Amino acid sequence: ETGVTQSPTHLIKTRGQQVTLRCSSQSGHNTVSWYQQALGQGPQFIFQYYREEENGRGNFPPRFSGLQFPNYSSELNVNALELDDSALYLCASSLMTGSETQYFGPGTRLLVL
Amino acid sequence: KNEVEQSPQNLTAQEGEFITINCSYSVGISALHWLQQHPGGGIVSLFMLSSGKKKHGRLIATINIQEKHSSLHITASHPRDSAVYICAVSPNFGNEKLTFGTGTRLTIIP
């Protein structure tokens, strides 16, 4: 068991709405990364947080934003949802940014109608 | 053209066969990762490589930095190995800013 949890597991929203996804890191991990995985595709890197600061961002618009809290749990916020935002959103935690291994959560499946 | 290409996209083999999955990349990297994704989404990190070869149980991963190519091998394949295997590269020695391939779907038939 990885110890990384995500909530909710499934979510349905309509275009234009806002959504917040949550991730609880494995105990002791100070780094969390978020990924978007469209159906049939590999994951795409959204951003990474290290000790509450953004530590790298992929090619996603500003309406994708994040937060990491002092307990290292994390949120992904998406504003003005678009149909193409429908995907599996994965978070992964690691002991530090240079770690070999990331521990992935089960993901949140978001459907935008 | 994707920065990370995997082949084959789909692979079906009989139990016990030796499996090879290939990954080629076109960007400069410091590390390459192999991951396993089971139905439903769960992803497990298998290896991180920056050179040479690593082995864990029946899994072997190799990388050739000059040729920008990596392979994942599975010996004595088993139906429980059925999953999607994903290659990902990082510009830094670590796990940030990973660029992923689209994965190879492996099915092992008993």
pLDDT tens-digit readout, A34-73: 999 998 888 999 999 998 999 889 999 999 999 999 988 9
Q: Which of B86, B107, B98 is nearest to B23 (CA)?
A: B86
- Cβ separation B43–A90 shorter than 8 A: yes
Q: What is the pLDDT of residue B103?
A: 94
pLDDT for res B1: 63
* pLDDT score recorded for residue A34: 96
Contacts A45 to B, Cβ<8 Å: 96-100
Spell out the SS3 assignment of chain A.
CCCCEEECCEEEECCCCCEEEEEECCCCCCEEEEEEECCCCCCEEEEEEECCEEEEECCCCCCEEEEECCCCCEEEEECCCCHHHCEEEEEEEECCCCCCCCEECCCEEEEEC
**SS3 call for B79:** helix
CA B94 to chain A, closest CA, distance in angstroms equals: 4
**pLDDT (tens digit per residue) in B23-34:** 999 988 888 999
**Per the CB < 8 Å rule, is B45 touching A104?**
yes
pLDDT band at B10 (very low <50, low <70, confident <90, very high): very high
- Residue in chain A lying closest to B93 (CA): A98
A44 touches chain B (CB under 8 A): yes
Take residue B60 and report the two structure tokens written for it: 């072997």
Cβ contact (<8 Å) for A92 and B43?
A: yes
Closest CA to B77 of B58, B105, B55: B58
Hey, what long-range contacts does B52-57 have (CB within 8 A, 24 or more apart)? none
